[in-house]
Chains A and B, each alone.
Chain A
Amino acid sequence: MRSVHALGVAALVMLALPDSSFAEPKSGGVMRMYHRDSPGSASIHEGATYSINVPFMAVFNNLVIFDQHIAQNSTETLRPELAESWAWSGDAKTLTFKLRKDVKWHDGKPFTSADVKCTFDMVMGKSQQKFRQNPRKSWYDEVSEVTTNGDYEASFKLKRPQPALLTLLASGYTPVYPCHVSPGDMRTKPVGTGPFKFVEFKANESIKLVKNPDYWKKGLPYLDGIEFTIIPNRSTAILGFISGQFDITFPTEVTIPLLKDVKSQSPKAVCVVEPTNVSTNIIVNSSNPPFDNLDVRRALALALDRKAYIQIMFEGQADVGGTMEPAPAGLWAMPREMLETIPGYGPDVNKNREEARKLMQKAGYGPDKRLAIKISTRNIPIYRDPAIILIDQIKNIYIDAELDVVDTAQWFPKVARKDYSLGLNLTGNAVDDPDQSFYENYACGSERNYTGYCNKEIEKLFGEQSQETNVDKRKKLVWEIDKKLQEDVARPIIFHSRMGTCWQPYVKNVTIMSNSSYNGFRFEDVWMDK
């Protein structure tokens, strides 16, 4: 009884204490964040790195957006943005958006349906104006055209039903661009409709955004501006945060060991560790010997001790999974019991390796005839470190590998030439949806399908799951596909990483997304209790 009273008193005390997280948001202040590198441009549509999204997502709006305060992106967390509402046609082949009428571009021109058409025509490669590079063109392969009906209605006409289209449109990678600004200008002086206006981007130095006083969401944003200082040196950046020079670290960029440092030296800092939906995987050149032999590929998959990677690199804080991000953060991950039935995912590593050695012997290799190969990877620690562990692990199955570090400028040309045996690669997923992941990385002929993996049977299943409107049925199809991809050793997934983000206790309303690193940086209702 006494403990019940104590709990009651404690609850009353807590209620009486001022808690700024429930306090009325305050306007003002410039939020200072360090940026991990100098982005190549300011044009989100032309990039494939969140180094562009983090600073520039706040300049724009999408038609729809994932709720910025729910960490797990899903169809339930879709919110209207430039579209007031949306509706699917009866045959699920037309998606119509009713647009807001009170939106202006930062240069004062009105936003209309023409801008929506312009943006997606350009992304689909159908307009006269072209992007220098267009990495997400394939997202809209099923869209036949975008049409307008007056100034405030736009429709996406599809070749076949694709429920995932809304999810793709909600990504931070899918802002609406103004028709009247050229792609070149969007790379250097972006104009948006978002809560912050672009001020300047000094390469290798800083990016500055200022509050958009005419933002269509009245009363927002709370911040007067956001300043990003570009600090590629991670030690300097973290020291800067610890010393209070920055209000927030670059999102999902603090490693688990560094997080300990931050917490010990800056105990009041608020830190979260979230999955990034970035997988570390092996690209296997199955066009040439020895990996054209399925037995050798399977042996490779069986040799992996995934828990060792996670322990060494993340102190246990990362996840084992297939192509789709593991649960609970991931929406489409196959159940654990199913995952463990895939060769190499079973808990007994020694047994797996014994089996792998048998497969290698069947392929003609053994203790007296070891296979010598090179493992190619980019000269960046997050690529190099797992490659070194891989070299160590495959020694157990008669493979002697040498590390071949490749300059960033040479990585994709080398991969495109198929000038490698094994490559250690990282794959980031912009949205947690199988359409994005499967088509981009495993579809026959896809530009980002680096290994050239092509299985027409599985590709048929891609289409089936993509059209399936029943989520439970779609999930089962996705699990089946993911399992087959792992069994085919299409691109063995080693682990899915988790990374930390920290901010000072006075920074409020920051939410780090848990199933994508690309979608949570609108910052419109972030405020500082200073």
Chain B
Amino acid sequence: MFAYLVRRLALMFVTLFGISVIIFVLLRVVPGNIVDILFDAAGFVDPADKANLEKELGLSQPIIVQYFNWISGLLRGDLGYSYVSEKPALQEILPRIPITAKLAGLALLFSTSIGIPLGIISAVHQGTRLDYTLRVVSLSGLSLPSFWLGLLILMASVSMFGTMPIFNPNPKTWTEAFAIYAVPALAVGFRFAALTMRITRSSMLEILRQDYIRTARAKGASETSVNYHHALKNAMLPVITVIGIEAAFLIGGLIVTETVFNIPGIARFLVEALRWRDYPIVQNLVMFIAVVVVFTNFVVDLLYAAIDPRIRFGD
């Protein structure tokens, strides 16, 4: 187990190094830079001013020097300055992380707490009206883009309650806080819940057809015991995998949701920073997301062993 952990950790660092190189190079390969965009706002490009600004921002240095400066800064905890706001990148990124984390956490909580039970119910009642209804709901969840669902929610909110949740960093009441985070989480979590439900259902159905389930039933175990004690635990492995992957991809869904609900989290900020080619913000944020994804995968791998004793990390 210890050797496995060390190997995985080493692999994590190699992966992160690779990602850092890819992010850095790709950002510079994409046409246009912050200087072009700043001059776009001015309506023309003056070559001399452009050269001065590139020098000021360190963009005229060789790419390898720029990369080294970034990584050495990162190791010292200095993420550089945002080219746009001219504030330290850390100061720009840090306050946005809890906002997105809360939103992502709530979306995950919502999707798993709805998706897993509904998936089980659908599998246990396979072929019934309830199963068909739940399958239709899950299909619609997978089909509805979250930005469209978000806009529908906002329109319904304005039409029914005469108001809509607009982000406020210091909500005064519990209901305001709920509206600010829970409604967008619902919009982004709905698709995720539908996916979780479908995976849970198909996984449960597969397990429920296994010989050992028939044996358990033959031995007189109750349906509840068969479903929840014998089947569910083994059916969870693919569900956890999907939750792990989807959690990593959640940031993609949040970009649209944060835009529609106007939430100043890191997902929307990343898109804006990319639009401005604000390299210090983009490369540090993407690195942060990469760390989260790699770490989530690591945790998922560890969870496999905890849930399924057949999996061992010896080899």
CA distance A192 to B178 in the complex (A): 39
A413 within 8 Å of B (CB atoms): yes
A259 within 8 Å of B (CB atoms): no
Q: Which of B37, B163, B269 contacts A408 (CB 8 A)?
A: B37
> Scoring B residues 137 to 173 as 1 if CB is less than 8 Å from chain A, else 0, what string do you get?
0000000000000010011011000111010000000
A151 within 8 Å of B (CB atoms): no
CA distance A35 to B264 in the complex (A): 14
- Cross-chain contact A447 with B32 (CB below 8 angstroms): no
> Scoring A residues 220 to 241 as 1 if CB is less than 8 Å from chain B, else 0, what string do you get?
0000000001111101100110
Asked, given contacts A409-B31, A409-B33, whether A448 binds B44 with beta carbons under 8 Å apart, the answer is yes
> Of all chain B residues, which has the CB nearest A416?
B45
Interface residues on B, range: 35 or more
Q: Which of B40, B56, B166 contacts A245 (CB 8 A)?
A: B166
Asked, given contacts A236-B262, A244-B162, whether A409 binds B40 with beta carbons under 8 Å apart, the answer is yes
> Scoring A residues 45 to 68 as 1 if CB is less than 8 Å from chain B, else 0, what string do you get?
011110000000000000000000
B260 within 8 Å of A (CB atoms): yes
Q: Which of B16-24, B84-92, B115-123, B223-231 contacts A (4 or more CB under 8 A)?
A: B84-92
| Residues in B19-49 with C-beta less than 8 Å from chain A | 31-33, 36-46, 49
Least distance between B37 CB and chain A CB atoms (Å): 5
Q: Which residues of B contact A244 (CB under 8 A)?
A: 162-163
CA distance A187 to B41 in the complex (A): 14
| Residues in A206-261 with C-beta less than 8 Å from chain B | 229-233, 235-236, 239-240, 242-245
Residue of B42, B52, B87 contacting most chain A CB atoms (<10 Å): B42
CA distance A494 to B166 in the complex (A): 38
Asked, given contacts A239-B158, A408-B37, A413-B36, whether A245 binds B260 with beta carbons under 8 Å apart, the answer is no
B201 within 8 Å of A (CB atoms): no
B284 within 8 Å of A (CB atoms): no
> Of all chain B residues, which has the CB nearest A187?
B86
- Cross-chain contact B276 with A240 (CB below 8 angstroms): no
- Cross-chain contact B86 with A448 (CB below 8 angstroms): no
B191 within 8 Å of A (CB atoms): no
Q: Which of A205, A245, A412 contacts B44 (CB 8 A)?
A: A412
Q: Which of B36, B151, B264 contacts A202 (CB 8 A)?
A: B264
Least distance between A185 CB and chain B CB atoms (Å): 9
| Residues in B184-237 with C-beta less than 8 Å from chain A | none
| Residues in A379-428 with C-beta less than 8 Å from chain B | 407-413, 416
Q: Which residues of A contact B164 (CB under 8 A)?
A: 239-240, 243, 245
CA distance A407 to B30 in the complex (A): 11
Least distance between A277 CB and chain B CB atoms (Å): 15
B134 within 8 Å of A (CB atoms): no
> Of all chain B residues, which has the CB nearest A265?
B158
Q: Which residues of A contact B157 (CB under 8 A)?
A: 243
Asked, given contacts A49-B41, A239-B164, whether A412 binds B92 with beta carbons under 8 Å apart, the answer is no
> Of all chain A residues, which has the CB nearest B30?
A409
CA distance A403 to B45 in the complex (A): 24
B283 within 8 Å of A (CB atoms): no
B272 within 8 Å of A (CB atoms): yes
B248 within 8 Å of A (CB atoms): no
Least distance between B162 CB and chain A CB atoms (Å): 6
Q: Which residues of B contact A411 (CB under 8 A)?
A: 40
CA distance A413 to B277 in the complex (A): 15
B261 within 8 Å of A (CB atoms): yes
Asked, given contacts A132-B53, A243-B162, A244-B162, whether A236 binds B41 with beta carbons under 8 Å apart, the answer is no
- Cross-chain contact B163 with A188 (CB below 8 angstroms): no
B259 within 8 Å of A (CB atoms): yes
> Of all chain B residues, which has the CB nearest A49?
B41
A134 within 8 Å of B (CB atoms): yes
A203 within 8 Å of B (CB atoms): yes
- Cross-chain contact B31 with A48 (CB below 8 angstroms): no
| Residues in B283-305 with C-beta less than 8 Å from chain A | none
Q: Which residues of B contact A287 (CB under 8 A)?
A: none
B102 within 8 Å of A (CB atoms): no
- Cross-chain contact A47 with B262 (CB below 8 angstroms): no
> Of all chain B residues, which has the CB nearest A125?
B49
- Cross-chain contact B158 with A242 (CB below 8 angstroms): yes
- Cross-chain contact B272 with A240 (CB below 8 angstroms): no
> Of all chain A residues, which has the CB nearest B158?
A243
- Cross-chain contact B45 with A412 (CB below 8 angstroms): yes
| Residues in B46-100 with C-beta less than 8 Å from chain A | 46, 49, 52-53, 56, 82, 84-87, 92
A29 within 8 Å of B (CB atoms): no
Q: Which of A48, A232, A407, A410 contacts B41 (CB 8 A)?
A: A48
- Cross-chain contact B259 with A232 (CB below 8 angstroms): yes
- Cross-chain contact B31 with A46 (CB below 8 angstroms): no
Least distance between A137 CB and chain B CB atoms (Å): 9
> Of all chain B residues, which has the CB nearest A205?
B264
Q: Which residues of A contact B43 (CB under 8 A)?
A: 48, 135, 412, 447-448
> Of all chain A residues, which has the CB nearest B43?
A48
CA distance A330 to B46 in the complex (A): 31
CA distance A203 to B36 in the complex (A): 19
> Of all chain A residues, which has the CB nearest B150?
A236
Residue of B32, B92, B155 contacting most chain A CB atoms (<10 Å): B32
Least distance between A213 CB and chain B CB atoms (Å): 25
Asked, given contacts A204-B272, A242-B158, A410-B31, whether A134 binds B49 with beta carbons under 8 Å apart, the answer is yes
- Cross-chain contact B38 with A132 (CB below 8 angstroms): yes
| Residues in B247-296 with C-beta less than 8 Å from chain A | 259-262, 264, 268-269, 272, 275-277
CA distance A49 to B39 in the complex (A): 11
CA distance A232 to B85 in the complex (A): 17
Q: Which of B31, B42, B86, B259 contacts A233 (CB 8 A)?
A: B259
Q: Which residues of A contact B272 (CB under 8 A)?
A: 38, 203-204, 232
CA distance A232 to B276 in the complex (A): 14
- Cross-chain contact A135 with B31 (CB below 8 angstroms): no
- Cross-chain contact B277 with A409 (CB below 8 angstroms): yes
CA distance A46 to B84 in the complex (A): 13
Q: Which of B36, B162, B259 contacts A412 (CB 8 A)?
A: B36
Q: Which residues of A contact B36 (CB under 8 A)?
A: 409-410, 412-413
Residue of A242, A412, A448 contacting most chain B CB atoms (<10 Å): A412
Q: Which residues of B contact A134 (CB under 8 A)?
A: 42, 49
> Of all chain B residues, which has the CB nearest A246?
B166
- Cross-chain contact A203 with B41 (CB below 8 angstroms): no
CA distance A230 to B277 in the complex (A): 19
- Cross-chain contact A236 with B82 (CB below 8 angstroms): no
Asked, given contacts A232-B259, A233-B259, A245-B166, whether A203 binds B44 with beta carbons under 8 Å apart, the answer is no
- Cross-chain contact B82 with A203 (CB below 8 angstroms): yes
A-B contact pairs, 10 of them (CB 8 A): A40-B37, A41-B84, A133-B41, A203-B269, A230-B262, A239-B155, A239-B164, A245-B163, A409-B277, A412-B45
Nearest 3 CB-CB pairs, A to B?
A409-B32, A135-B42, A447-B44
Sample of 14 more A-B contacts, CB < 8 Å, known A133-B38, A411-B40: A40-B38, A46-B42, A132-B49, A188-B87, A229-B166, A233-B262, A235-B151, A236-B260, A239-B164, A240-B166, A412-B36, A412-B40, A412-B44, A450-B44
